[in-house]
Amino acid sequence: MPTFPTLNPPVRVLMGPGPSDTHPRVLQALAKGTVGHLDPYYLEIMNGLQEMLRMLFRTKNQMTMAISGTGSAGMEATVVNLIEPGDSMIVCVNGVFGGRMLDVAQRAGATVTKVERPWGEVFTPADLKAALASAKPKVVGIVMAETSTGAYQPIEEISKVVHEAGALLLVDAVTALGGVPVEVDGWNIDAIYSGTQKCLSCPPGLSPTSFSPRAMDVIMNRKTKVQSWYLDVSMLANYWGQNRVYHHTGPINMTWGLYEALCLIHEEGLENCFARHLRNHRALKGGLAAIGIKYSAQEGHQLPMLNAVTVPEGVDDAAVRSALLTRFGIEIGAGLGAYNGKVWRIGLMGFGSRPANVLLFLSALEQLLAEQKYRFTSGASVAAANESYGKGA
Amino acid sequence: MPTFPTLNPPVRVLMGPGPSDTHPRVLQALAKGTVGHLDPYYLEIMNGLQEMLRMLFRTKNQMTMAISGTGSAGMEATVVNLIEPGDSMIVCVNGVFGGRMLDVAQRAGATVTKVERPWGEVFTPADLKAALASAKPKVVGIVMAETSTGAYQPIEEISKVVHEAGALLLVDAVTALGGVPVEVDGWNIDAIYSGTQKCLSCPPGLSPTSFSPRAMDVIMNRKTKVQSWYLDVSMLANYWGQNRVYHHTGPINMTWGLYEALCLIHEEGLENCFARHLRNHRALKGGLAAIGIKYSAQEGHQLPMLNAVTVPEGVDDAAVRSALLTRFGIEIGAGLGAYNGKVWRIGLMGFGSRPANVLLFLSALEQLLAEQKYRFTSGASVAAANESYGKGA
């Protein structure tokens, strides 16, 4: 009989593209006793969770819930419920996650029109006009916070042209939700999904989602069954709605975690939470600028919670990331796809978005850059970050 | 700003069809710090978890892993990876979960042949012969432990006729795994899935699965893409295999929980674990028999971990279940579908399968039956259960 090591995870500072640091209160919530998925107490917590999600998504959508899977399951749920075989869909691709949505849409049988922008850039309504006219899509999918590039996509103006063309708007808010304002009703978003492991200070495993009444009309009037039984929103609506009809067994303890995570956000206040993400982003950016490190996403469209920066000339990407992890316990993200070896992705998400992490990271990075003979003014990054905090920026 | 209640789940004794009681060590594991999904430590834990799952499934299958969703996601994963549109599939239906698999198979585009047995009964190889000859299926799906009826389906003989007909065998082991022997290699099972919330003493949220080399050949040589991106085993194989290529973000803390749960089973020893499930089942059955309560599944094919019994004549099903929950904190399951109002489903699963739960349940049940004027010899059930334990049965 082989023996297996006792579970003792190392203590990490999670500053990559997610998962981010789980808040201690959320860890404790995960460990609370399991109850049944039809237990009156569980149903009450589901109600509270839905209400808090509606506040976070800024929506009145009845069909607001957590899908029992990670953010990618949320992506699949929104796509396969809205799309029937042969439907036309436009997917906006400027990074890995737009590309993933395109793949999901094709597997759902959509006729997909791909609209592209270079990595790190964002879409304007003009970029979509020609495709909207020719494809006459049922759905347009777009990523609000492209985690592979750090680009921050404005949604409101895009939504207008999408709806003028008679299409539904589907938004990936995996990394956005909880870090920047997401106005589901204000921007007229029809379907949206997120993940728990980014700005919600919760481990990965659930996907908050919301569907507008218009999207629900489309779903309830499909000609064909949704290809996924597990993600079929018409059945999930019966479990998350008033009827509470058993569908699949809810992930009880992860639900405790998400509930606690949402309580934390509402205690802090949404606006305070967004301001905190921005403040720490500005301090980090100021610190990096002081030692000559530049952001790779388009200026003016950089995400506060996911800081994608260009690996400086002559610096060994993998060696720096590895030393950050092994010597300082800090995880940052490598570049994905086209950005492999060229970009670092530094997350300041949820509980992880705090001055202590910004200062620790800059100090550790300076040490490693010095060892790699990168030329910069020692201490400049930390001084600039502190100055940024001093300004109340 | 509305306020939301502090998370304080009531303490329950979970004796329904699952979730079952989570072991305290598993609860503590869930609360351990989150690390990244590509962290060397996480990859090491994934290796240990896969190795322990192989021991539990009794298989050498390389492709043995946990799907990031509940048991129903595991069902969907096994079906959609093996089935391409137009493929022939036989589904054996003798309860709710066989019916669910049929629905999943149809949504995957299979031409489905339904083979039926009455609820509570099991299939013999003879039941399949005609369908195998006429449908020439690519895949035959069957439920080993039908949680809706408590029927315990033998697999080995079925497997022989399925393979003689050139088909692959797909087995639902959601409730079986950890409670009774599951011999993936010995019985020649090609695809199998389970859930964490039954006999593994872990909360719901993950689905242990395994695919034989023959099943993997079929998957790697598909003509069409798997309809689900999230559940595509050809991509999951790259994350769970040597390459560790990012697919979706692994559910870190739930993985801690499952790892700890598997350690518990291996510390106890598989044979001891199965014997314990059987011992507590016999004590419960003896106790119920002493007060005239009968099992609803076919004699000789009753599951030790899921005891489906007929609600006695004149007893109010809902009132008893409700009082068990509110007065004693005990959850048992109602009948599903055709069994609604007629059957109680009493789980003795994983950590929940222990003498204390058997005795507590029988004592509480006697109290409630007496209040309902059901006629029986007071104390007889507990005495019979204790006698059963005394015999070392």
ipTM score assigned to the predicted complex: 0.97
* Exposure string over B362-380, b if 16+ CB within 10 A, otherwise e: bebbbebbeeeebebeeeb
| pLDDT score, position B350 | 98
| pLDDT score, position A329 | 98
Return the SS3 of B375: coil
Find the residue in A nearest to B256 (Cα). Answer: A7
> What is the dihedral sign for C-alpha B83, B87, B91, B97?
positive
Mutation target among B26, B28, B35 for the A interface, most CBs of A within 10 A: B35
| pLDDT score, position A1 | 60
Please report residues of A whose CB lies closer than 8 A to that of B322.
none
Please report residues of B whose CB lies closer than 8 A to that of A263.
4, 6-7
Distance from CA of B66 to the nearest CA of A (A): 12
Six-digit token string for B69:
């969703």
Q: What is the average pLDDT across B309-330?
A: 97
Q: What is the pLDDT of residues A120-138, one digit of tens each?
A: 999 999 999 999 999 999 9
- Asked if residues B339 and B296 have their Cβ atoms less than 8 Å apart, the reply is yes
CA-nearest of B266, B240, B42, B69 to A206 is B69
B35·A9 Cβ contact <8 A: yes
A7·B32 Cβ contact <8 A: yes
CA-nearest of A291, A295, A322, A292 to A308 is A295
Return the SS3 of A168: strand
| pLDDT score, position A387 | 97
pTM for this model (two decimals):
0.98
B249·A197 Cβ contact <8 A: yes
Six-digit token string for B237:
């194989």
Asked whether residue B332 carries a pLDDT value surpassing 80, the answer given is yes
Asked whether residue B90 carries a pLDDT value surpassing 80, the answer given is yes
A204·B76 Cβ contact <8 A: no
Q: Rounded distance, CA B228 to CA B87, Å?
A: 17
B270-390 CATH pick, 1.10.540.10, 2.40.440.10, 1.20.120.160, 3.90.1150.10? 3.90.1150.10
What's B223's DSSP letter? S
Please report residues of B whose CB lies closer than 8 A to that of A225.
106-107
B24-266 CATH pick, 3.40.640.10, 3.40.50.2300, 3.60.15.10, 3.90.550.10? 3.40.640.10
- Report long-range pairs for B247-250 (Cβ below 8 Å, ≥24 apart): B247/A72, B248/A70, B248/A71, B248/A72, B248/A73, B248/B68, B249/A18, B249/A19, B249/A70, B249/A71, B249/A72, B249/A195, B249/A197, B249/A204, B249/B37, B250/A70, B250/A204, B250/B37, B250/B42, B250/B46, B250/B68
Mutation target among B3, B4, B38, B233 for the A interface, most CBs of A within 10 A: B4
Burial class (CB in 10 A: 0-12, 13-18, 19+), A126: exposed
Asked whether residue B205 carries a pLDDT value surpassing 90, the answer given is yes
Sorted by where each begins, the domain ranges of chain A are 24-266, 269-390
Q: What is the average pLDDT across B340-360?
A: 98
Count of CB contacts below 8 A, A vs B? 252
Q: What is the average pLDDT across B372-379?
A: 96
Show the DSSP H helices in chain B as ranges: 24-30, 40-57, 71-82, 96-107, 125-135, 156-164, 213-220, 233-240, 252-268, 270-290, 317-328, 355-371, 380-390
Neighbour count for residue A116 (Cβ, 10 Å):
14
A72·B229 Cβ contact <8 A: yes
Q: Give B17-30 as a DSSP string.
A: SSS-PPPHHHHHHH
In one-letter notation, the amino acid at residue B171 is: V
Which residue from B106, B195, B251 is facing A205, i.e. has the nearest CB? B251
Q: Rounded distance, CA B232 to CA B111, Å?
A: 21
| pLDDT score, position B156 | 98
A76·B225 Cβ contact <8 A: no
Find the residue in B nearest to A228 (Cα). Answer: B107
| pLDDT score, position A243 | 86
| pLDDT score, position B225 | 98
Distance from CA of B1 to the nearest CA of A (A): 8
- Asked if residues B59 and B65 have their Cβ atoms less than 8 Å apart, the reply is no
Rg of chain A over all Cα atoms, to the nearest angstrom: 21
A263·B4 Cβ contact <8 A: yes
* Centroid of chain to Cα B72: 10
Per-residue confidence at B369, pLDDT binned at 50, 70, 90? Answer: very high
| pLDDT score, position B361 | 98
Which residue from B7, B32, B197 is facing A259, i.e. has the nearest CB? B7
| pLDDT score, position B392 | 63
Q: Rounded distance, CA A6 to CA B18, Å?
A: 27
CATH class of the domain defined by A269-390: alpha beta
- Asked if residues B201 and B20 have their Cβ atoms less than 8 Å apart, the reply is yes
Q: End-to-end CA distance of chain B, in Å?
A: 59
Q: Which residues of chain A have pLDDT under 70?
A: 1, 392-393
| pLDDT score, position B1 | 60
Mutation target among B14, B230, B330 for the A interface, most CBs of A within 10 A: B230
Asked whether residue B338 carries a pLDDT value surpassing 90, the answer given is no
A39·B106 Cβ contact <8 A: no
β-sheet with A306-310: strand ranges across: A306-310, A343-347, A333-334
Please report residues of B whose CB lies closer than 8 A to that of A39.
10, 12, 325, 331
Return the SS3 of B270: helix
Per-residue confidence at B257, pLDDT binned at 50, 70, 90? Answer: very high
Q: What is the average pLDDT across B233-257?
A: 94
Neighbour count for residue B298 (Cβ, 10 Å):
18
Asked whether residue B126 carries a pLDDT value surpassing 80, the answer given is yes
Query: Tokens 């010095």 belong to which residue?
Result: A370
B204·A22 Cβ contact <8 A: no
Find the residue in B nearest to A261 (Cα). Answer: B7
| pLDDT score, position B243 | 86
Q: Rounded distance, CA B17 to CA B22, Å?
A: 14
Mutation target among A6, A8, A30, A227 for the B interface, most CBs of B within 10 A: A30
Q: What is the average pLDDT across B36-54?
A: 97
- Asked if residues B260 and B353 have their Cβ atoms less than 8 Å apart, the reply is no
